[in-house]
Amino acid sequence: MKEIKLVIFDMDGLLLDTERLSNIAWIEAGKNMGIEITYNILRRIKGGNLKNAISVLMDFLEEEECKKLIEEKNRIQVRVIEEEGIRLKKGVLELLAFLKEKKMKIAVATSTGKETATRELQDTGIYKYFDEFVFGDEVKNGKPNPEIFLAACKKFDISVENAIVLEDSVLGLKAAVSGGIKCIVVEDTVQLTEKENRLPYKKYESLLEVKNFFKEVI
């Protein structure tokens, strides 16, 4: 493979254990409104932006009901985060420390907006590790469009051939692949289908295993 010069991290479900909390909020919000939020619905929403969530929900809800459901979900998620806090995913600190030791350029590219993402990265103590950020409200097109990952490469003037994306979501995986960037997947709340399992460059159980991969190649 080409020399790796840039590692691009997704945030939710990869660095931060927030997708699990998001699922709790989606399901509770659905119950409050008499709407069943299934695994398949969550699967299609994960990794995407607000526009994508609305698009998924409008398959079976009217626009006004979509907006009410999303507002209820956001309200509940704030409460759940206050109650449980946000934990780092396994291996985050070990991997980030290793990459910094190797002087590797690292960035976050997340569908979450700048204000929320910055706060959560700072609150969990990992904001300081990253050289650059691309937030969901800074790009026009959300995942699975590759814009957010291409923007990260552009910030460093690094070719997609010399970058690698770390993702947990199907939408994020598809975004990386469509942008010509190799993608390592660490599954979180969503599992890849047999067909989707052909897309990642590598797939691991945790970021500790990803660290071992990088130890072999950089």
For the stretch 182-213, pLDDT in tens is 999 999 999 999 999 999 999 999 999 999 99
* For range 130-145, the mean pLDDT: 97
Residue (of 136, 130, 131) closest to 49 by Cα position: 136
* For range 69-75, the mean pLDDT: 97
131 belongs to the catalytic site = no
Q: What tokens appear for 167 in the block? A: 């993702």
CATH number of 6-16+87-217: 3.40.50.1000
Do residues 177 and 55 lie in contact, with contact meaning Cβ atoms separated by under 8 Å? no
**Band of the pLDDT at 126, cuts 50, 70, 90?**
very high
Whole-angstrom distance, CA of residue 53 vs CA of residue 139 = 16
Domain ranges of the chain: 6-16+87-217, 19-84
* For range 112-127, the mean pLDDT: 97
Whole-angstrom distance, CA of residue 25 vs CA of residue 145 = 26
pLDDT at 1: 80
The residues with which 171 forms a beta bridge, in sequence order, are none
Q: Which of 10, 12, 168, 188 is catalytic?
A: 10
Q: Inform me whether the pLDDT recorded for 143 exceeds 90.
A: yes
Do residues 107 and 11 lie in contact, with contact meaning Cβ atoms separated by under 8 Å? no
pLDDT at 191: 95
Do residues 199 and 178 lie in contact, with contact meaning Cβ atoms separated by under 8 Å? no
Cis peptide before 144 (omega within 30 of 0): yes
Instruction: Indicate the pTM of the whole model.
Output: 0.95
